[in-house]
Structures are given as C-alpha cells and as structure tokens.
C-alpha cells in the first residue's frame, strides 16, 4: 500500500488481515456458490469497531476517516469482495450517511445499534427507471399530518434482504432536485422487500428490490429538511466511490498473488509457465497496474481526509481501479488457462466480482463525464 502509514494504521492493517484471513477468506467460495450472506462475520465486525469506522466514539464508532475506511475495503476485498460490498453499503452508504447528515436525535436512536452490529443498514437510491440518472427517481413522499407516505420502488439495493435500517431517497416536490432523505425501518407499515436478485458476481452480498406501498414514515425520520438531499447524495457518493475503489484494488491484488503463485508451480513443456515471456508480460502489467491503482486510490483517500471534496477524486479512483480489477481478473483466468475457467479456482470469482465495480456507484461512463466536466466546464 503506497502510503506512509501511522503506527495506528499499521496496527489496523494487521487486525484487518487477521480477521479477513480467519472470517472471510475460508467462507468466500461456499458463500458465493450458495448466494449466502456472511452474517456471523458481519456481526463480529461490530465488536472490532469497523461498522462505524467513520463515526465518532460518541455513538460507538471508531472516529477514523476515508483512509482507514479504504484500507478495510482493500484488505477485505482481497479475501471476499461480496462481504466487503455489503460492508460498504452498511458502513458508508448508511452509517456514514446518517453520521454526516442526520440530526443528533436520529443519530442517537439509530447509530449505536448499526455500529454494534445489532442492526444491518442499507441505502436505497436506484430505481427501475433511474440508475445513472439519480435525479430521475420517482419514489414519492407526501406529508400527511405527522407522517410521510412513501410510494414507489427501488432496485439493486445491496443488503436489501437483511437490512433493519435503510436510508431512502424520495421525491418531495415537482422540480428535479426536490428530493429528500428518510430513515425507514424494516417493520414500517407499507414497506416490503421484493424479490432477491441473482447476480453474476458479488453473489454473497444480498441484492433486492424494495417496494413502498403507502409506507408510513414518521415525520421525525426526515433527514435534514425537505428538498435538500442533493447535497447529501453528492457528499456520500464521493466517499463511496473512493472507498469502493479499495475493493477493486483488493481484487487486483488477489489476482496478482494467485496468478504469480500458479505461474511458479504450473509446468508445461518441461518448465514453469512463469518462465514464458507472454505469461511474464501479463504478470508484469498486472503488478504495474495494481501498484498504480493503489497509489491513485490512497492519494484520493488522503485528499478527501484532508478536506478536499472535489467530485473528480472519487471518479478518478473508481474509474481507474475498476478497470484495473476487471483486467486483472481476465488476465488471471488466461494465465490459469482451462483451470482459470473452473469454479475450483478463485480467479473466475475475482473476475465476476470485479465487473460490478465498473457499474455500481456510478458507471465507468458516468465517471468519465465527471472527470471531463472538470477539465472542460460546461
């Protein structure tokens, strides 16, 4: 990892590696095959203070920042990207979102249980007709007395089947930017979890459709003020894109490690395949790309931690790291040949998991638009 670690960060990295090696890596293959959530490991993260890594100690959090959150994604992502994706949805999309935007009363009510691991969190933004166009969402909230009535649907919601507390975006006006944030509990009348979605990769991270059918949300569960949630979205999207890039770098690291080991052990034509120049070329490029992605990732995380809120930070990290991870997965499969295509070897899972990183939290195409607009303002 290309950064000058503090003593505390080195200790954190050691703790993360030990936990991931014992609780995540041994179960990754089986959970991927069965499409099952690693609930036991997730709850244990609460005991380590990881589920509220960016929240203050006042609510049970660790009081750390973007660098440490990125470290978790990176180290965990190399062992089990699926569980790490669910961790991101909980710790960044839900907990960090509430910590940054909720009222003191809301934080006191919801954060302790989320941070301890007693409750699992999620965030619901994407809809069937509003993916990259986040401002095109149609879920609507209308205030009636001391409640808001929500109607609409969400899709591709990470942790949707297991979440106890959800941060939900809904339209509260007629203008495109008149969007508000609500805290929804799984037991609220009119809230229903729809079908679980079956995916190519990240299969141990549950993804679902959600339905709001005259869903009754107490007025005090409005986060901030009506129609001011664009700022909430943008603030959280930036740290989401930086930290989720850690998963991409972790996957690339895993691909490199496994491919290098395999190339040293597998022989063809009387010698290890690692001695063939074409295999060496792929390994050399994978190592260089991974190192470059690592450097960019932690540079962006460090800048964010220092107060830089330029949206291109997350866009650059996510675009480059996601591309590198997918290429690493494909190259790892090619190095292993027929074995790489078999489920008995982990590289095909690495590749399937990596591909989502080019889609979720903003597609590669949207990341390019964000970066280009910084270069050439409209």
Give start and end residues of each alpha helix (H) in 266-362. Answer: 277-305, 311-336, 347-356
Backbone angles phi, psi at 299, to 5 degrees: -65, -45
- Total residue count of the chain as it appears in this document: 378
3-state secondary structure of 93: helix
- In the set 23, 209, 240, 348, the catalytic residue is 240
Structure tokens at 298: 């932690």
Q: Which of 289, 292, 313 has its CA nearest to residue 301? A: 313
Is 213 labeled as catalytic in the residue annotation? no
Integer Cα distance of 297 and 146 in angstroms: 44
Contact criterion met (CB below 8 Å) for 156 and 207: yes
Q: Which of 153, 185, 177 has its CA nearest to residue 229? A: 177
Backbone angles phi, psi at 153, to 5 degrees: -145, 155
User: What secondary structure letter does DSSP report for 152?
Assistant: E
Nearest 5°: the CA angle 237, 85, 224 is: 35
Integer Cα distance of 313 and 66 in angstroms: 12
Q: Which helix (H) or strand (E) holds 262?
A: helix 229-265
Within 13 Å of residue 265, how many CA atoms lie on the same side as its CB? 7
How far is residue 177 CA from its own chain's centroid? Answer: 25
Structure tokens at 198: 């079956």
Integer Cα distance of 240 and 246 in angstroms: 10
Residues pairing with 181 in the sheet: 169, 223
Active site residues: 240
């Amino acid at each position: 990892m290309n950064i000058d670690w503090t003593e505390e960060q080195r200790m954190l990295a050691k703790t993360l590696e030990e936990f991931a090696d014992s609780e995540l890596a041994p179960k990754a293959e089986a959970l991927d095959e069965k499409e099952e959530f690693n609930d036991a490991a997730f709850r244990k993260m609460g005991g380590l203070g990881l589920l509220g890594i960016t929240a203050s100690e006042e609510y049970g959090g660790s009081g750390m920042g973007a660098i440490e959150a990125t470290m978790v994604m990176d180290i965990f992502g190399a062992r089990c990207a699926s569980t790490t994706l669910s961790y991101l949805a909980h710790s960044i999309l839900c907990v960090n979102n509430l910590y940054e935007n909720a009222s003191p009363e809301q934080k006191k009510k919801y954060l302790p249980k989320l941070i301890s691991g007693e409750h699992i969190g999620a965030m619901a933004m994407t809809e069937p007709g509003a993916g990259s166009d986040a401002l095109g969402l149609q879920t609507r909230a209308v205030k009636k007395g001391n409640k808001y009535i929500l109607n609409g649907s969400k899709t591709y919601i990470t942790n949707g089947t297991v979440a106890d507390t959800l941060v939900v975006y809904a339209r509260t006006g007629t203008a495109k930017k008149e969007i508000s944030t609500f805290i929804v509990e799984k037991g609220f009348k009119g809230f229903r979890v729809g079908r679980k979605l079956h995916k190519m990769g990240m299969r141990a991270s549950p993804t679902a459709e959600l339905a709001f059918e005259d869903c009754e949300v107490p007025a005090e569960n409005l986060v901030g003020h009506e129609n001011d949630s664009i700022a909430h979205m943008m603030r959280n999207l930036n740290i989401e894109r930086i930290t989720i890039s850690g998963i991409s770098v972790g996957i690339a690291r895993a691909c490199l490690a496994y491919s290098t080991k395999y190339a040293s052990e597998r022989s063809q034509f009387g010698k290890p395949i690692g001695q063939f120049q074409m295999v060496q070329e792929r390994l050399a490029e994978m190592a260089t790309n991974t190192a470059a992605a690592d450097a960019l990732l932690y540079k962006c995380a460090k800048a964010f931690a220092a107060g830089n809120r330029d949206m291109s930070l997350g866009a650059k990290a996510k675009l480059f790291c996601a591309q590198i991870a997918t290429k690493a997965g494909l190259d790892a499969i090619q190095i292993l040949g027929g074995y790489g295509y078999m489920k008995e070897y982990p590289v095909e899972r690495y590749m399937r998991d990596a591909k989502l990183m080019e889609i979720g939290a903003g597609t590669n195409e949207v990341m390019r638009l964000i970066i280009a607009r910084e270069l050439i303002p409209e």
